[in-house]
């Protein structure tokens, strides 16, 4: 954007790299391929890295850097957070709650702040099945929580955690909820807006359809399914799953900030969601997901893709023994013999162990009402509606998931379109091995049944089709 001045990025050194080194890697990211077709890398000179950390006092800023921000920043977008659902209270309070407080303190000092945009989450209100675009009462007194984190040891903090969280499912939603109230405290001083995305997924349109760098949510499901590793998925396929493309989220942050900046102060809240305006259910993909996996297969697939949705965790665990762990055991054994690193059993164990924690999110349905967002759409002129699209009316979920799958193939699996012919040949080979494997399992169970009953294989032949039918339900 030619009329935008400098963009200051609060960055931490990572993996032994200074922030200047990390910034130099930006142009190499595949997300910028489209941008660099029409622009030189000079465009990245607008980005100014600032060494800091929301988890440190004063944001870890040097006096000089803080003064630079105070003197020059007009718009603040705060999106830093720890999203780990397993994390304990201490780090989540420090980063999500106190980190937001530190950002707000910086905003108070800024000399010419036009707007503060806080990236929250729709799931801060996951204790409700239906939520509106308002800040709900805090689940606990923030000062009390901060005091407990500062005085109790880890064990004592862990013991008191359920009492503090109340109806919140984890420390993430709890601390992000408290963080919203840090924003509320400053709404009389300068314009503030809170944008609450739901589950963020791959791009809808920009920079290219299907771009993603995340293995969380449907991207991870489809990545595992395309490799043949994930063959069963526990979910209530008739429930609405609230997904929102990442480019829509970015657009809404900018549009919400633009609208809020028209005032001298005040607070606005927006749900960046699809559940009430363009709902998606996995039943929409029930008949097409496997044909999609085979039309655009992976050259790196290790088993024949065959994804089925199962309606309960119990059913998933039973199925997983046969369709996840047995093949994983065989493939890990082959990896050991060929000098590779066996990882599949460990991967499936991690999934198995995490399911209880995620069950509420897998099988619950939420409705996040977004009239403020719909009203925001109407305030854009036609040019801005096309540039900063936040209206989901024209999104078609089946076509979108085709783009998402192709994005997963290209950006997560790093397989270009030129690999498709070889991938399709491998898909046919994997089908042959899949059939042989099924025949082997049926034959093995048939033999075990014959031994246990004392019948000959010929006299116990009736059990083979029974095993096949039972196996098809797994």
pLDDT digits (tens, 9 = 90+) for 159-214: 999 999 999 999 999 999 999 999 999 999 999 999 999 999 999 999 999 999 99
For range 366-385, the mean pLDDT: 96
DSSP symbol at 149: H
| Burial of 37: CB neighbours in 10 Å, binned 0-12, 13-18, 19+ | exposed
Confidence at residue 109, expressed as pLDDT on a 0 to 100 scale = 96
Bridge partners for 243 per DSSP? 199
* 155-159, 357-361, 399-403: the lowest-pLDDT one: 357-361
Please check whether residue 324 is in contact with residue 253, taking contact to mean a CB–CB distance below 8 angstroms: no
Predicted local confidence at residue 252, as pLDDT: 98
Residue 247 has pLDDT above 70, yes or no: yes
The confidence band for 425, taking pLDDT boundaries of 50, 70 and 90, is very high
pLDDT band at 2 (very low <50, low <70, confident <90, very high): low
In DSSP notation, 134-201 reads SPPPPSS-HHHHHHHHHHS-HHHHHHHHHHHHTT-SSHHHHHHHHHHHHHHTTTTTS-EEEEEE-EEE
* Lookup: tokens for 52: 């800091």
Tokens describing residue 217 = 């949510």
pLDDT tens digits, 447-471: 999 999 999 999 999 999 988 888 7
pLDDT at 472 over 80: no
C-alpha to C-alpha distances, 225 to 5, 101, 218, 400, 405, nearest whole angstrom? 44, 41, 10, 17, 10
Taking the CA atoms of residue 384, residue 388, residue 390 and residue 393 in that order, the dihedral angle to the nearest 10 degrees is 60
Confidence of residue 4 (pLDDT cuts 50, 70, 90): confident
Most confident of 17-31, 75-89, 328-342: 75-89
- For the entire predicted model, the pTM comes to 0.91
Region 345-362 average pLDDT = 81
> What stretch of H or E contains 130?
strand 130-131
Q: Find residue 130's DSSP bridge partners.
A: 367
Beta-strand relationship, 47-51 and 7-11: parallel
| Mean of pLDDT over the chain | 92
Q: What is the pLDDT of residue 362?
A: 85
Answer yes or no: are the C-beta atoms of 110 and 70 closer than 8 Å. Answer: yes
pLDDT of 325 above 80: yes
User: Taking residues 374-396, what's their average pLDDT?
Assistant: 95
pLDDT digits (tens, 9 = 90+) for 302-318: 999 999 999 998 989 99
The average pLDDT across 52-69 equals 95
Q: Which CATH class is domain 7-212+241-278+365-415?
A: alpha beta
Lookup: tokens for 471: 């196996």
């Amino acid at each position: 954007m030619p009329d935008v001045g400098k963009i200051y990025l609060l960055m931490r050194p990572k993996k032994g790299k200074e922030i200047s080194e990390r910034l130099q890697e930006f142009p190499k990211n595949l997300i910028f391929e489209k941008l660099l077709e029409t622009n030189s890398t000079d465009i990245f000179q607008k980005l100014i890295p600032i060494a800091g950390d929301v988890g440190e006092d004063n944001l870890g800023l040097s006096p000089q850097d803080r003064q630079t921000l105070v003197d020059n920043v007009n718009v603040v977008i705060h999106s830093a957070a720890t999203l780990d659902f397993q994390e304990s209270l201490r780090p989540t309070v420090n980063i999500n709650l106190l980190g937001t407080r530190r950002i707000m303190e910086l905003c108070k000092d800024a000399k010419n702040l036009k707007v503060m945009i806080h990236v929250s989450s729709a799931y801060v209100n996951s204790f409700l099945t239906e939520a509106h675009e308002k800040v709900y009462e805090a689940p606990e007194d923030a000062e009390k929580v901060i005091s407990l984190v500062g005085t109790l040891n880890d064990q004592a903090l862990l013991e008191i955690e359920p009492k503090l969280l109340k109806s919140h499912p984890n420390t993430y939603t709890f601390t992000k909820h408290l963080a919203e109230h840090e924003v509320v405290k400053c709404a009389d001083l300068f314009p503030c807006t809170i944008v609450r995305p739901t589950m963020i997924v791959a791009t809808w349109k920009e920079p290219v359809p299907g771009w993603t760098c995340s293995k969380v949510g449907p991207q991870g499901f489809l990545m595992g399914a395309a490799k043949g590793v994930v063959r069963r998925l526990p979910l209530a396929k008739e429930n609405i799953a609230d997904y929102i493309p990442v480019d829509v989220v970015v657009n809404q942050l900018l549009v919400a900030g633009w609208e809020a900046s028209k005032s001298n102060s005040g607070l606005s809240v927006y749900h960046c969601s699809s559940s009430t305006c363009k709902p998606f259910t996995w039943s929409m993909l029930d008949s097409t997901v496997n044909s999609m996996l085979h039309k655009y297969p992976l050259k790196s697939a290790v088993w024949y893709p065959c994804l089925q949705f199962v309606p309960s965790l119990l059913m998933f665990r039973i199925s997983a023994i046969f369709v996840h762990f047995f093949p994983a055991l065989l493939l890990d054994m082959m990896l050991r013999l060929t000098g590779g690193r066996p990882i599949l059993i460990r991967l499936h164990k991690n999934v198995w162990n995490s399911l209880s924690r995620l069950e509420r999110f897998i099988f619950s349905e939420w409705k996040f009402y977004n009239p403020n967002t719909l009203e925001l759409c109407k305030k854009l002129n036609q040019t801005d509606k096309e540039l900063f699209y936040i209206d989901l009316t024209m999104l078609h979920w089946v076509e979108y998931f085709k783009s998402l799958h192709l994005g997963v193939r290209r950006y997560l699996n790093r397989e270009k379109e030129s690999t498709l012919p070889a991938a399709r040949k491998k898909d046919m080979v994997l089908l042959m091995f899949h059939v042989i494997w099924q025949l082997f399992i049926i034959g093995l169970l048939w033999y075990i049944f014959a031994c246990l009953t004392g019948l000959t294989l010929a006299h116990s032949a009736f059990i083979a089709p029974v095993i096949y039918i039972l196996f098809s339900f797994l």
